[in-house]
Structure 1
């Protein structure tokens, strides 16, 4: 593992150099205002290979293609669903269900966002939900910013529930070898509780601050419906996309025991959808978030250098010492620590590196490490709600809000999100810890 690099650097230099490159890459990712995070990750990967920490074939082997295939496949299914008019139709139906009542607007759109985020990419979810929410609440005479913050919180919380809901879960599922059903059993119950509690707390805060006062008259609701264009629906395409999506979810649930990885399932079913759908595949591929896929590839290479240098073996030993042999202590350390860190830095590179540490720990603890995987999932995903820069969905909604003339300030976001996040994280991690201590999980 510790052979000399291509530049004949001493083996003792490999770990410090790999750590230095990881920190430098992380710093560039945080400075996304000046350097795009995909460029930062690719620069880090290039440096790893140029310095000889990994040869090109080793770098290629460090990339987790199961994660990439899963993201790519789900992106294509979502793109076809969007083309069918499915999301526009759902948004219009949701508006009718609100009856112009502010509380119903909060619960219905937050609930829809959480539900979609559990089964689709949460960034894609907020991309189509946020503009709809701005239009609806503005036409109903309400202030958009609190409702947009509620959408952000629901997106990250809902995405915590499943394997495909949030990138940290995709990473954990691939590295730990966990399937869709594993997340439904071990993570979803606590995510659902946190989601419902989060929306209820948001209602309390918005009520105290006068954001839910008033009732939209029937003419305002009608104006809102007329203001939104009538959805153009391709029912044949929608049926095809929803059918393939349902089959994909079914295969996620039964595929893991059969040895079928989620990435292979998503790639296969999405390719079949492209085969039967009457759409131009090239046009669909242009809508794939290639920057996100390349970002993951670059990070996997940078983290692969840490693994090759033996850094994760040392980190796993340190974590074992800190736990003192008590998995319950590990749940609190990893769950709460992940939530705090993920509130201020990108949770994707953090999860990739932490997952590698837990994989090393799995060699000594075996199945006993499983609760730590679920603690990492809950902490990394829920912690993204702590600040405006905690998760990609937060930044996407903030950009949409600014473009629509309703900017979300860093402090304004924290006034609502931070207390709610602290409570929901403590609630979810605390309940999970209690379940583990009682032998339920």
Structure 2
């Protein structure tokens, strides 16, 4: 991976993330020469960019010193101002607050509401359905006459999984896909909502889930929606903003990130045909291959933390109140952690990637995501005899969540 002449401030530009070579060239240079630059990009509140795996691990695991509230992700100041204006001066947190914005005991209490649901035991029945669903989605390729946009096959698969867990009717899934893209990938012109951007999409999602919440409170049926809608903390139901925040984070992050691992994972296998051949020859490598795909794609590009006291990070003085941006793609290619990090190797061991984060905020759905990826790729290599790129892929323009959004392929089924 070669250095680029991109300035450190380019990390705030969503267009930087459409060119993996340029992005990783910038991050590799920073890890080597200035692993904690202070970024003052136009239209953004200043922040420290954390590039090294060890520093990100230390910050995530020290949740008392580095908290999640108030800055969850990198947003332009102009966007935040417009969002408040559109909401009559109200902050997003006035109508939605999710797990990611919580800290300490409150975070633990809210996380415990669904934690057992996302364990292997809690997901037992769901996992059987996932294997069946993977077969159904790969079967769609057989109907496309040997050529398709693989993103149109891969992206609805994890969406179907999480929506069925929430009890969302299948006919509403395209709407949920649109709303997810308009919120998590709102920087991409292709996904932007009309007349208000991500906030408009979020309000539409809020109105939709309010009906499900009311239904499950009157007629609980044991599904994930019922668990969240009827959860109590200190004997009280969750407030509207907190219960919606719970639905929002599961409904969006519960599929969008896995989707980009699927599309980016296939692109990696197509770009490294020897690794695809290795996987076809020995499908037992799939669990290891999925870990390498997660490292290689790292769909969540960053989260932010705020220092609550003066600290030292990477040899620099960070003041109380300073914001830090944790760059997960940088951690995933850190040369001090991974041997030959810019080589895609499906049998890489160990593979201590941070695609799911670490510490108290480690991804709640990581077991589910891994199972979805293994099931889908197992079905793909078993039933697709040959597959190759048919045109140039396109990548999401966005600094928060993203990956390959368009993957035209040509293939032959067995």
Same fold by TM-score greater than 0.5: no
Larger proportion of strand: 2
TM-score in terms of structure 2 length: 0.29
